[in-house]
Structure 1
Amino acid sequence: LLSKYILYVSINLQDLNVNFYMQLTATLRNLADLPSARRQLICSGAVSELSVALEQRVNDKDVCTYVVRIFSKLSSYNDFCAALADCSRCYFLFLALLKKHQKQQDLVIRIIFILGNLTAENNQAREQFFKAKGSVNTLMSLFQTYYDLDLNAQKWYHERGGEGKTHPKHPSEAEDVLIKLIRVLANLSIHPSVGAALATAHCVVDLLVTVLEYKSVDDCEELVINAATTINNLSFYKVKSSAVQDKKLHIAEMLLKLLMSNNMDGVVEAVRVFGNLSQYHEICDFIIQKKIYKFMIALLDAKNQDVCFSACGVLLNLTVDKNKRALLMEEGGIGKLVDCLQDFGPADWQLACLICKTLWNYSENITSAASCFGEDTDTLLVLLTSLLDEELALDYSLDRDLRDYHKLYWEREFKPVAEKLLDRIQSHHSFLPTVTITPF
């Protein structure tokens, strides 16, 4: 009843005292933490009513900020976020507010935060926001505004002898806007048609590359990693006039700095982008020229499933070129791939498939298993035999849905290529080892 009353008063009193309005909206915001009150707000049409309040007071920055604070708080909860995403008018309203109050950081940051929550998991919301008139142009205008503010702040910092000082632990206000804005772009790029369209938007890709140019991961970790993540998402789309493809060599140069940093999250994102871009021969040549392939082989020792998957993706693309296959002999690459297969194979059949495809490419011109795989030959034979045994490879202790999921990938992705690889090794092996197969 209290939430209904507060909502009614806050919407219907046109000349409400600002301090009283602030107290009302603060109360609504606090009620958002209570599931029962939140459900009541949803049922009482809070989304629509609060949208009306924003429309009525669009020129009043303070009142808009108070209302947006409620949306910001509520959008952190899935139930309210779903209700808000279904309100098509909210996208146009938020865009109008961003245009009207572009330099009001406290208001802008909350609206961008809301849009990030709306587009985090909802494909319909991604599409609706993208199709809203001026959506991308508004985001790009905001990006330019806060990029300029951040750049000026950096110049001011260096002009006053800031060089060499410890970077602030927390992002500046301008950086915070850029972080959340790029999060929205990253979310939008997950939608197939929206992502494909954004991949051709040179203004979007240019600004993402600009972040990698002027910021290091030590300056602002979240900003740089968000930019790399978004570039990775966009690099997935092989579309005509792709801005990512046009700038792929420059992007590779920028990612090299991130790859050589001490930030593991940054390294993983850089490797993921290289995984997509290494499908182009220019990037493969760049990887060889800069000795990046050695780093990819070294990452196989990371004992991290995601890192190994991304690094193996790069190595797989390199081995498509028969002239680049010998690189797996360097740095113990074959042994490390076999180790990854043993460590992660039963838990990740997609990764196991990548490893087998890489070894399949590498061994195309095999004359002798021993000369091709060296001391890892017998281990690989035993391992492939075990992983192809359904009773041994599949974990039947898992719940049914997860077990069916694993079995599907084992049958469709891993098994066909693993069987061909095993047959190739056996047919070029002078003798077969006596093996004892034990369950994983």
Structure 2
Amino acid sequence: MITVPTITPTEDFTGVNGLNLASMERKHEICSPFIPRRNPARKTSAEIISEARQSLRVQSTQRPFTPRDGHRQLFGKSSVRADRDNRPPSTFSLHAQNFDAPDSRPGSGTRLSPLDHKPKFPVPCDAEDPFKALPKPPTDPLEVKRGLPGGRARLLRSGSLTTLSPVEGHIHVKEQFNPGLGQKQLSAKRLPSTDHTEVRSGPLKTGRCRTASESRLMQPGVDSGVRLTEERAERKTELGNGDNSKSTKEDAESLVWNNMIAPLLQQLESMAAGSSEGSLDSLCDLCDGLHGTLAEADMLGRRCKRRSGILRTLFRLIDLNSAQLNLHIAKLCLALCVSGNNLLNICKLIFQISRSESNDILFQNNSIIGPVLGILSNEDVSSSGEALLYCVGTLKFLSGNSALLRLLLDNNCVGVAQKLIQRLCTAEDTNFTIAGHILVQLTATLRNLADHPDSRPIFISFSMLSELCLVLRHHCKDPDICTNISRIYSKLSSYSECRLALAQTPDCYQLFLELLSKHHQKQDLVVRLLFTLGNLTAKSEEARRQLFQCDACMDTLLQLYDTYQRRDNSPHTPSQKGPLSPSESQAPPGSVQEDEDVLVKLVRVLANMCIHPAVGPALANNTICIQLLMETIELRSVQESEELLVNVAATINNLSFYQEESSVLRRSQLTIAKLMLKLVLSSSRDAMLEATRVYGNLSQSKHVRDFIMQNKVHQFVVTLLDSKSTEMCFSACGVLTNLALDPANRDSLSVEGAAAKLVDCLRDFGPGDWQLAGQVCQALWNMIVCGSEKLLDTQERESLLEFLTTCLDEQEALKWIENEDIRDFHRACWELEFLPVAQKLMKTLRTPDLTA
């Protein structure tokens, strides 16, 4: 830029994008953000407003819009998994027969290793019906002791739920009660936990006859195994193998079972048999009552010995196909700690209910979200991966509801997600596919949670922004996961505390660049990563430096720029080709508007980066960068691409701050000046403002000033002084200040009435904007420096002197400001920006040759 070493009454002021300098020293201290101040610790209010108006400005843009998916499904239409055969389905049917009864997985959750040999039965086995040849127990109980030591128990397979008898038949509350038996014998008749598939052989009691229901022992099905286990456990108790405390506990459980639980199960069965709309609410109440009874008796989880009977009853109710009832059933089943296939089906059931938006109210009124989050906290990925998938899919659907969003946050959903992410990244070596499916749902849920303002401190407290970077590194080839995380970052990076947390994540800039290169064809991912980078570089010098210093940073960004330039789809024909021919840059499949959105975000990153003193000169000397920016202005119209062209002009304006003798931008400044005509003559106020700012910097060149005068651009600039916008007047004053450097131009400016308009501008805006007032005085200084009598008549000169005299009095200048803080701000601007130039201008106006 042109600088003036000293200021005398005969010298001109040089304008820089409307930012003109009273002295070289003042210019360095206030206007340049790159040269250290004499006292770096002291930063005045005038410096703050000066930085806001300096040539280098941060660009802003709107966050990319993410439309809601109208259909609730695990993987949307845009997912890369949409056509894969191995992905879990979103639609399926569930019936009672899909559940296992009893739920026989061991309570520890440990998988048993399969036997290496086939067990040999001591008796012949009928191939048609192996249960027909079950061995008969010995009549003498002492025969048990004479058996082979360590003999293995025979395993009984659970049958289909459809072969179960009604609840009255398999609970045996009334049927097995015999008044002739003692209380001890009655209490001994209990159903042992069906979690144990191993049944010890023992003698049968032969002192009484079998009932009709007991005769089904030899029939195939689950009841045979349950009854055999029950009778053997009864004989074991009668032989005195249990201690007194255990017997007391069993007595208490039997009482609760007989008096409270069994009647509730019978009511559920009978009411379900004659189900109607009126009875559904009653069934739900019964389920809640059963839940409360089990909780009070400490029989939830796997502690209830007869939980298999409860589960069989609950599973039958699923066929009633009531979403409200099924949600109560699912909550109770989770409280009973179902596992294996039953856990998977319960998770599918909850997922199926959540697919309908009309069922969201059911989740608000039912406390099932806590148990669902409990599954995510406790279940193992390797053994229950698909169940976890449907649980997280449920949370994804529910998080789309604002009321449920608050409920999820209150239940520590973010904390649970963070722990699950850590487990998924640990287990991905052996379960990479299912881990990826789960992470798609989990990141989509976090994306919805990020919408809530209360989620931001929670995300930071759980280091979620850093955790998501870890996921990106592990799943960098998965477009679905990367896109969801980019949406989270694009939302949260708009807030300073989240930007700080993300910027502190090691190598996040390099990671984003690698993703941009790897997924350059995926527009929705690219545009959000660029938006995030634009947010990070908007306020941080360190972020600008770190991004620029990343490997292949400019190569990646400029290659993206070239790819999304869309030369083939533009109605305009460029006068020069970009750095790459259209055949070399394959156009992405998005629409023209989507591609333009990418360029808006990308150009914003460039504009923000070049504010850094080490980055700006490098970009100003980058041939590809300058050519792409100029090509964009040439290819597009302001009417169709206003935001893009405004951003491009702002980037060129920032780069024009660094006009070294050998820079590419300096060699191209005349071409750029011609391209700016399109923006100046448009109907867009923002485009006119940015183009005027560019002319404010480029007009330091004599060739550009001549171009402006030859193409009558100065006439347009003078009319901008009538604008009601202080920013527009400020930029116009900068151009006029530079144009007035040439004596030949002053007459043309006088003909347009520039001086009179500058005086009007000073009167209208001066007392409220002392920086603008100082800029006007600089423009007037350059216009009257040669003593031109055509600029101001006597009345105008006297009026200007009177106004300046009043404004040079501090009390008069600041008397209308009441707030002390604002008064200090305006006083600083008045002292540094206005006072020095106004005093010199008054001396010039009072010289004899001008006042004669």
Tell me the residue number matched to 1:376.
Answer: 796
1:74 pairs with 2:492: yes
TM-score by length of 2: 0.47
User: For 1:199, which of 617, 620, 624 is the aligned residue?
Assistant: 620
Residue 292 to residue 12, structure 1, CA distance change in 2 (3 Å) = same
For residues 155 and 211 of structure 1, the distance between their equivalents in structure 2, rounded to whole angstroms, comes to 12
Tell me the residue number matched to 1:163.
Answer: none
Residue 316 to residue 181, structure 1, CA distance change in 2 (3 Å) = same
How many angstroms does 1:18 deviate by?
A: 5.0
Which deviations, in whole Å up to 9, do the C-alpha atoms of 1:273-323 show, x marking residues without a partner? 000000010001001111111111111111210111111101100111222
State which drifts further: 281-290 or 319-328. 319-328
Residue 352 to residue 430, structure 1, CA distance change in 2 (3 Å) = closer
For residues 465 and 568 of structure 2, the distance between their equivalents in structure 1, rounded to whole angstroms, comes to 38
1:404 pairs with 2:824: yes
Amino acid at match of 1:52: L
1:214 pairs with 2:635: yes
How many angstroms does 1:260 deviate by?
A: 0.7
Residue 81 to residue 256, structure 1, CA distance change in 2 (3 Å) = same
User: For 1:2, which of 384, 390, 413 is the aligned residue?
Assistant: 413
Describe how 1:94-243 pairs up with structure 2 within 5 A. Answer: 94-147=512-565, 150-154=566-570, 172-243=593-664
How many angstroms does 1:139 deviate by?
A: 0.3
Contact 1:171/1:220 (8 A) holds in 2: no
Tell me the residue number matched to 2:733.
Answer: 312
User: For 1:387, which of 781, 786, 807 is the aligned residue?
Assistant: 807
Tell me the residue number matched to 2:445.
Answer: 27
How many angstroms does 1:4 deviate by?
A: 1.3
How many angstroms does 1:171 deviate by?
A: 6.5
State which drifts further: 374-383 or 200-209. 374-383
1:326 pairs with 2:747: yes
For residues 114 and 50 of structure 1, the distance between their equivalents in structure 2, rounded to whole angstroms, comes to 14
For residues 81 and 96 of structure 1, the distance between their equivalents in structure 2, rounded to whole angstroms, comes to 20
How many angstroms does 1:101 deviate by?
A: 1.0
How many angstroms does 1:347 deviate by?
A: 1.9
How many angstroms does 1:240 deviate by?
A: 4.1
Contact 1:312/1:355 (8 A) holds in 2: yes
Which deviations, in whole Å up to 9, do the C-alpha atoms of 1:91-119 show, x marking residues without a partner? 01001111111111111111111111111
Amino acid at match of 1:72: S
Contact 1:299/1:308 (8 A) holds in 2: yes
TM-score by length of 1: 0.89
Amino acid at match of 1:205: I
For residues 26 and 121 of structure 1, the distance between their equivalents in structure 2, rounded to whole angstroms, comes to 28
Tell me the residue number matched to 1:363.
Answer: 784
Tell me the residue number matched to 1:45.
Answer: 463
Residue 429 to residue 155, structure 1, CA distance change in 2 (3 Å) = closer
SS of alignment partner, residue 568 of structure 2? helix
Residue 79 to residue 222, structure 1, CA distance change in 2 (3 Å) = same
- Which is higher, the Rg of structure 1 or of structure 2? 2
State which drifts further: 399-408 or 297-306. 399-408
For residues 26 and 415 of structure 1, the distance between their equivalents in structure 2, rounded to whole angstroms, comes to 58
Contact 1:190/1:233 (8 A) holds in 2: yes
Tell me the residue number matched to 1:274.
Answer: 695
Moved over 6 A (4+): 429-432
How many angstroms does 1:219 deviate by?
A: 2.0
Tell me the residue number matched to 1:167.
Answer: none
Contact 2:623/2:664 (8 A) holds in 1: yes
Which deviations, in whole Å up to 9, do the C-alpha atoms of 1:129-183 show, x marking residues without a partner? 1111111111000001111xx2223369xxxxxxxxxxxxx96111111111001
Contact 1:10/1:25 (8 A) holds in 2: no
Residue 118 to residue 339, structure 1, CA distance change in 2 (3 Å) = same
Unpaired runs of at least 5, structure 1: 157-169, 433-440
How many angstroms does 1:67 deviate by?
A: 2.1
Q: CA RMSD in A?
A: 2.1
For residues 328 and 89 of structure 1, the distance between their equivalents in structure 2, rounded to whole angstroms, comes to 54
Amino acid at match of 1:301: D
For residues 544 and 851 of structure 2, the distance between their equivalents in structure 1, rounded to whole angstroms, comes to 58
Contact 2:762/2:776 (8 A) holds in 1: yes
Residue 310 to residue 50, structure 1, CA distance change in 2 (3 Å) = same
How many angstroms does 1:367 deviate by?
A: 7.4
Contact 1:326/1:362 (8 A) holds in 2: no
SS of alignment partner, residue 152 of structure 1? coil
Greater RCO, CA 8 A, separation 6+:
2
Tell me the residue number matched to 2:761.
Answer: 340
Which deviations, in whole Å up to 9, do the C-alpha atoms of 1:337-374 show, x marking residues without a partner? 00011111122222212211221122123276xx5411
Contact 1:217/1:258 (8 A) holds in 2: yes
Tell me the residue number matched to 2:167.
Answer: none
Which deviations, in whole Å up to 9, do the C-alpha atoms of 1:8-28 show, x marking residues without a partner? 223432233555433311221
Residue 305 to residue 155, structure 1, CA distance change in 2 (3 Å) = closer
For residues 686 and 447 of structure 2, the distance between their equivalents in structure 1, rounded to whole angstroms, comes to 34
Residue 361 to residue 155, structure 1, CA distance change in 2 (3 Å) = closer
Number of equivalent positions? 415
For residues 216 and 320 of structure 1, the distance between their equivalents in structure 2, rounded to whole angstroms, comes to 33
SS of alignment partner, residue 792 of structure 2? helix
Residue 53 to residue 372, structure 1, CA distance change in 2 (3 Å) = closer
Residue 293 to residue 12, structure 1, CA distance change in 2 (3 Å) = same
Amino acid at match of 2:829: Y
For residues 352 and 327 of structure 1, the distance between their equivalents in structure 2, rounded to whole angstroms, comes to 23
For residues 532 and 510 of structure 2, the distance between their equivalents in structure 1, rounded to whole angstroms, comes to 13
Which deviations, in whole Å up to 9, do the C-alpha atoms of 1:188-236 show, x marking residues without a partner? 1222322222212221111111111111111211111110111011112
For residues 472 and 818 of structure 2, the distance between their equivalents in structure 1, rounded to whole angstroms, comes to 50
